[in-house]
Amino acid sequence: MLGKIAAGVALVLVLPVVFIGAAAGSLDAKGATTAAGVVCGPDTRGAGQRSAASPGRTNGNAQVFVTPCKAGELETIVLSDPRIGLRPEARGDVAAGLIDPRVLQVLLFLAERHDLNSVGPLMTGHSYYVRGTTRPSNHAFGRAADISVIDGMPVSIANPAALDAMEMVLSLPLPLLPDELGGPWLLYHPAVRIFTRDHGDHIHVGWDG
């Protein structure tokens, strides 16, 4: 678990690994595409951690992105992305720097292919505990996101884009692969807790630490 936490903070360095096929869209080390014009990742100076880099959209060759993001840069990218429609409280959480970079990166990755709307709650507005339990929710620590509308349709079993979004999330490598994924479909992944209860109308993505 400590290794995963450290990897979540250090997403850029050495391994030029192609981890998502072109059909899934390209994702650089901070979650935005090379076409977006901003190539950066969390500052890993002195961390000595590894991460995966993806092919650039233009030529499909593996690349390594090593420029650290400036403070607030990743948040600005998410806030300005026209394909990510954040609820007001979620927008405030992002602007305040309260949200885990992995959440922001995965939102950007999904927005490569889909329009996301009614995104939230992220932190503000969600209960501290997972419903019906005494277990703290990952939302309480800024490590989770809920998405209720994809490609203009509410998330449900009648929305194929929502199924595609869940499958996209499960295609991610560490450290972007979440610990938990909720939604209308009970999919399978050996390393991810996947559940449908109370998640028939939205997708939930979360990290334990």
Q: What is the pLDDT of residue 40?
A: 59
Q: What is the pLDDT of residue 85?
A: 98
Q: ω before 121 within 30° of 0 (cis)?
A: yes
pLDDT tens, 134-180? 788 999 999 999 999 999 999 999 999 999 999 999 999 888 999 99
Torsion of CA 108, 38, 81, 102, to 10 degrees: 30
Sorted by sequence, the CB contacts under 8 Å of residue 134 that are 6+ apart come out as: none
Please report, for the chain, the start and end positions of each structural domain, with discontinuous segments joined by +. 2-206
Q: What is the pLDDT of residue 78?
A: 94
Task: Identify the helix (H) or strand (E) that includes residue 108.
Answer: helix 101-111
Q: What is the pLDDT of residue 69?
A: 73
Question: What residues are paired with 32 via a beta bridge?
Answer: none
Q: What is the pLDDT of residue 158?
A: 98
pTM over 0.75: no
Q: How far apart are CA 179 and CA 199, in angstroms?
A: 16
What tens-digit pLDDT sequence spans the chain (209 residues)? 444 444 443 433 322 222 333 333 344 433 333 323 334 555 444 333 323 333 222 223 333 333 667 889 899 999 999 999 999 999 999 999 999 999 999 999 999 999 999 999 999 999 888 888 878 899 999 999 999 999 999 999 999 999 999 999 999 988 899 999 999 999 999 999 999 999 999 999 999 98
Pair 131, 182: CB distance under 8 Å: no
